[in-house]
Structure 1
Amino acid sequence: MAIIGYISRTEHFSAAHRLHSPHLSDAENLETFGKCNHPGGHGHNYVLEIILRGPIDEKNGMVANIADLKRWIKDSVLDYVDHRNLDRDIAFFATRPSTTENLAAFVWMRLCQVMPEGMLNKVIVWETPKNKVIFTGEGVTAKDIEECTV
């Protein structure tokens, strides 16, 4: 049986958004999201942590090459979210509010399309130093991944 290891990569990005659900009235959105529902939106300096889990390769001693992980994150996520307006620039958020929960799910779905199956363990997104979301892919379907567009 192989020895299992975990590796992690942390990145930062800045993005704007407006917490607003197309499934709620304007009054319900204001009541639910308060000042974060401001029509002009607001921004965050997000911290993103990606955690992989897998067998430690006997030959190279790695779960995955960090260079590969850096490239997967940059090409699939950062190139699309950094210095962007999530609501206006990413089709995924046209039908769902750009909460940190949905952002973490978006990151998961983008990464699992380019990484070896079963390797992605957790996506952690810090919206602020006090608020973070941890997503492990629970409930994600093939249809969800198909709809995960930018």
Structure 2
Amino acid sequence: MYKTAIIRKEHFNAAHRLHNPAWDAQKNKNVFGKCNNPHYHGHNYDLEVKIIGIPNKDTGYVMDAKVLSDLIKNQVLDRFDHKNLNIEVEEFKNLNPTAENIARVIYDLLRPYISDDFELRIKLFETQRNIVEYPYL
């Protein structure tokens, strides 16, 4: 059989602040720059969720795209879209919401719902020029 990837693209808007509470204000400013704004800042994130596996012989699907879309909506978009990640999203109460950490959290939210027969990859576009992939293999 042949492995095939299905990719679902989604979009969400969220605010965040990059900040390490163990550091003083100057070190936070030096490391995170304008992303350390105490009043937060926002991004229009683009998300690609990739499922890789062998298509089902009866359906031809790796995974039903509607099922994947609903899963992303329920586990990610409803939780992150139009939210302040630092304040409103439990996963970031003690985790700096960098693009790297956001991608990993999305992976962790989706992985329990995806069969172990499939690989899961997350690609998060924080901007058109800043892109994170998790896991990177």
Match of 1:36 in 2: 35
**Contact kept? 1:22, 1:96, Cα under 8 Å:** no
**TM-score, L = length of structure 1:** 0.86
For 1:12 and 1:4, how far apart are their aligned partners in 2? 26
For 1:132 and 1:14, how far apart are their aligned partners in 2? 15
**Contact kept? 1:12, 1:46, Cα under 8 Å:** yes
Deviation of the 1:118 alpha carbon: 4.5
Match of 1:72 in 2: 71
Instruction: Output aligned runs, 1:1-150, within 5 Å.
Output: 2-136=1-135
For 1:91 and 1:46, how far apart are their aligned partners in 2? 19
For 1:91 and 1:120, how far apart are their aligned partners in 2? 26
Structure 1 runs of 4+ with >4 Å offset:
none
For 2:36 and 2:133, how far apart are their aligned partners in 1? 23
Deviation of the 1:106 alpha carbon: 0.6
Residue identity matched to 1:8:
I
For 1:137 and 1:73, how far apart are their aligned partners in 2? 20
Deviation string, structure 1 residues 12-44 (Cα, Å, up to 9, x no partner): 000000111233222211110011101001000
**TM-score, L = length of structure 2:** 0.94
Deviation string, structure 1 residues 37-77 (Cα, Å, up to 9, x no partner): 01001000000000000111111111000011001100110
**Contact kept? 1:14, 1:43, Cα under 8 Å:** yes
**Contact kept? 1:15, 1:81, Cα under 8 Å:** yes
**Contact kept? 1:21, 1:96, Cα under 8 Å:** no
Number of residue pairs aligned between Structure 1 and Structure 2: 137
Gaps of 5+ in 1: 139-150
Paired residue secondary structure (2:113): coil
Paired residue secondary structure (1:24): coil
For 1:134 and 1:23, how far apart are their aligned partners in 2? 27
Distance 1:113 1:25, change over 3 A: farther
